[in-house]
Chains A and B, each alone.
Chain A
Amino acid sequence: MSDAIAGRILKINRDGKAVGVLDGPAPDKGRHFDPHLFAVDKDNSIFTAEVMPWRAQKLRPK
């Protein structure tokens, strides 16, 4: 679940428990993390759609 107000993406299990949080990378050129929608690929990389910073990002697992 992405929460653009909190500026984070939550990983939630099927019992409704938040089991992981991604607060996003450090602000880039003053632009904060604003995940409006996101998608996950088969490698668990996360793609974000961000309205206010006019940005799409790929975030990969470290």
Chain B
Amino acid sequence: MSAHIQWLRLLILAALFIAASFFPCYSEEAIPKLNYEAVPDFFQLPAGEHFVEVAGVAVNSKGHIYVFHRGKHPLMEFDASGKFVRSIADDLFVTAHTVRVDAEDNIWTTDVGAHLVLKLSPDGRVLLSLGRMRTPGDDVLHFNQPTDVAFDREGNIYVADGEGNSRVLKFNKYGNVLLGWGMKGSGPGQFDLPHSIAVDGDLVYVGDRENARIQIFDLNGRYVREWKLGHPYGLFMTPIISSTCPMQSLAGF
């Protein structure tokens, strides 16, 4: 009888072992919820105006918000209370993608229809144009649907290029190309739709959207590591106050 029970125990253990190997028990921690609420009707648009396919948004040092969308007035500025201030350079844009603001409050746009990256002064004058209007390409003078732009502390410019190409191009602050990296693929340093880009200190973060990873490089494009956290459409680095150095940027969204 006891031998019988012993066999039964062994059988149950074996069954549990096989079941566990087919249905592993994941112990992934739940991600804490961020406690936010929507501000109803925050953006006060002029009568008759509405947003169309909103692609980009950025905030400057005064708290003004730039909304970049695919309507009649693609680049709109709002004050910190959401009141409409003005639209900027209406005729320059074809298909809005992202808008960013640099450390001097210049406004940068990427346009996947015009194949252009533009730098505009805070009052809306064009200061720099990268790429050729409505002309896609894969050399250093052209983009193919550039998706995003970022800057390092020297003022160098990093363009994610993009929906057509699969690379990052780095320019100096005058718009002269310095280097580029990447090709289509899923290996380290390769991209399948580099859709967003951010620089923090000495690292470049590229949202490699269709490979569902953020790839991290040094400022010369050398692969460092990658994170797999979903499909990175947008990246934004937040400055965090350090107890020892109040202005130091320490973490990112």
Q: Which residues of A contact B (CB under 8 A)?
A: 1-6, 8-14, 16, 18-23, 25, 28, 35-42, 44, 46-52, 54-62
Find chain B residues with CB under 8 A from A21 CB.
Answer: 31-34
Interface residues of B in 51-93 (CB under 8 A from A): 51-59, 63, 65, 67-69, 80, 82
Find chain A residues with CB under 8 A from B59 CB.
Answer: 39-41, 47
B33 & A23 in contact (Cβ 8 Å cutoff): yes
A40 to B239, CA, bound (A): 10
Counting chain B residues whose Cβ lies within 8 A of the other chain, the interface size class is 35 or more
B57 & A37 in contact (Cβ 8 Å cutoff): yes
Q: Assuming A2-B233, A54-B50, is B253 touching A49 (CB within 8 A)?
A: no
A48 & B57 in contact (Cβ 8 Å cutoff): yes
B63 & A59 in contact (Cβ 8 Å cutoff): no
B37 & A1 in contact (Cβ 8 Å cutoff): no
Q: Is B230 engaged at the interface, CB distance under 8 Å to the other chain?
A: yes
A61 & B35 in contact (Cβ 8 Å cutoff): yes
Max count, chain A CB within 10 A of own CB: residue among B68, B69, B233: B233
Q: Which residues of B contact A (CB under 8 A)?
A: 31-39, 42-43, 50-59, 63, 65, 67-69, 80, 82, 98, 196, 207, 214, 225, 227, 229-236, 238, 250-253
A14 & B54 in contact (Cβ 8 Å cutoff): no
12 contacts between A and B (CB under 8 A): A3-B231, A9-B34, A10-B230, A19-B32, A22-B33, A40-B59, A41-B80, A48-B57, A56-B54, A56-B57, A58-B43, A62-B37
B196 & A54 in contact (Cβ 8 Å cutoff): no
A13 to B251, CA, bound (A): 6
A1 to B207, CA, bound (A): 9
Find chain B residues with CB under 8 A from A49 CB.
Answer: 54-57, 67-69, 234
- Which chain A residue lies CB-closest to B31? A21
A46 to B57, CA, bound (A): 10
Find chain A residues with CB under 8 A from B252 CB.
Answer: 12-14
- Which chain A residue lies CB-closest to B71? A54
A44 to B37, CA, bound (A): 12
Find chain B residues with CB under 8 A from A12 CB.
Answer: 227, 229, 252-253
In the assembled complex, the CB of B233 is this many whole angstroms from the nearest CB of chain A, namely 5
A35 to B15, CA, bound (A): 45
- Which chain A residue lies CB-closest to B198? A1
Find chain B residues with CB under 8 A from A48 CB.
Answer: 57
A20 & B31 in contact (Cβ 8 Å cutoff): yes
A6 & B251 in contact (Cβ 8 Å cutoff): no
- Which chain A residue lies CB-closest to B80? A41
Q: Assuming A37-B56, A40-B253, A42-B63, is B38 touching A2 (CB within 8 A)?
A: no
